[in-house]
Amino acid sequence: MKIKKQLYPLKFTPILKEKVWGGNKLSTLFNKENLDSIGESWEISGVHENISVVSNGILKGTTLNQLIDTFKGKLIGEKVYQEFGNTFPLLFKFIDAKEDLSVQLHPNDTLAKERHQSFGKTEMWYILDSEEEARLILGFNSEMNETIYKNHLENNTLTEILHSEKVTKGDSYFIAPGTIHAIGSGVVLAEIQQTSDITYRVFDWDRPGIDGELRELHNDLALDAINFEPNEAKLDYVEQINTPFQLCKSPYFITNKLVLSEKIKRDVSKIDSFVVYMCVEGEATIKTKGASEKIVKGETILIPSAIKKLRIKTNQATFLEVYMP
């Protein structure tokens, strides 16, 4: 397939995932297609069999893999391309939990490569909406070790040892591999993670899946992957206006928040990476040399690495700005 060699801010068709715990808020809040029980909208994905497709401009219909193969470092950054080749390294999602998700954890890079020939799954969350009393499960509520954990697992009392906490809009969390966690009912969030779809479920509320069957648990695999040490997942930040400020810095991604009340110029020339903007409030027009693209709440856009300067024109908008370190 011959692709014209011009790059501009790229949008992709969301990949919607039906989940037993999903609802309709991705439609009502973020204008996604109105389908029943949509739990996830994969905004930009390089996961096998879930490759994003461009939805705007002259490259419309081109897959993310085709883009990387053609543009290489000009699309994703020279350093990123040297490390990851034709694999897009991050996965961007919006998630709507009408019901509690399974209690789960993810393997680190070493285990994931050894067992699944995959990246591990480090992720972060930004809370977009939460009902009153909505909660997250994050780690354990007391000192924990493998013996105590296995005892509760065997006696079906795992929920007694899990730590949960209330969440509100604007809260942000870093979920390291090995951390026991679950998104609780009534939470809508943005998720940024490594390109991986590996999850070890350890408890699923004795709830049948969409097909009516109980979903598989992965307790044997999970046991070697769990981090029993206390962890502080919540990210503290001080909000600023009209300038990017950092929410999260990890070896896998950097996430800034950008709260705008006026138009700004953004120079990303020192970033050797693609830059992704997830619009979580308001709307804006992103202008680059020779291109202009409107983005509204619930949309995600990728700025190729070859584009070093942009203008964001708005009266009110909030973005998550994400790139590779």
pLDDT at 234: 97
151: closest CA among 103, 223, 221? 223
Q: In sequence order, what are the beta bridge partners of 122?
A: none
pTM: 0.96
In angstroms, the CA 242 to CA 63 distance is 33
In angstroms, the CA 43 to CA 16 distance is 9
In 149-263 the beta strands, taken as DSSP E runs, fall at 162-166, 172-175, 181-183, 187-194, 200-203, 245-249, 254-260
CA distances from 13 to 41, 54, 72, 250, 293 (A): 10, 6, 21, 27, 15
Tokens of 301: 């856009």
Contact call for residues 118 and 196 (beta carbons, < 8 A): yes
Secondary structure (3-state) at 73: helix
Angle at CA 65, nearest 5°, toward 191 and 82? 85
301: closest CA among 273, 320, 282? 320
Length of the chain: 325
Please return the burial class of 305, using the count of CB atoms within 10 Å of its CB with bins 0-12, 13-18 and 19+. buried
pLDDT at 34: 83
pLDDT at 2: 55
pLDDT tens across the length of the chain (325 residues): 555 568 999 999 999 999 999 999 999 999 999 888 999 999 999 999 999 999 999 999 999 999 999 999 999 999 999 999 999 999 999 999 999 999 999 999 999 999 999 999 999 999 999 999 999 999 999 999 999 999 999 999 999 999 999 999 999 999 999 999 999 999 999 999 999 999 999 999 999 988 889 999 999 999 999 999 998 899 999 999 999 999 999 999 999 999 999 999 999 999 999 999 999 999 999 999 989 999 999 999 999 999 999 999 999 999 999 999 9
In angstroms, the CA 121 to CA 261 distance is 34
In angstroms, the CA 73 to CA 210 distance is 41
CA 52, 56, 59, 61 dihedral sign is positive
Q: In sequence order, what are the beta bridge partners of 284?
A: 295
Please give the DSSP secondary-structure letter assigned to residue 57: S
Domains in the chain (CATH in brackets) are: 10-223 (2.60.120.10), 245-323 (2.60.120.10)
Q: In sequence order, what are the beta bridge partners of 286?
A: 293, 312
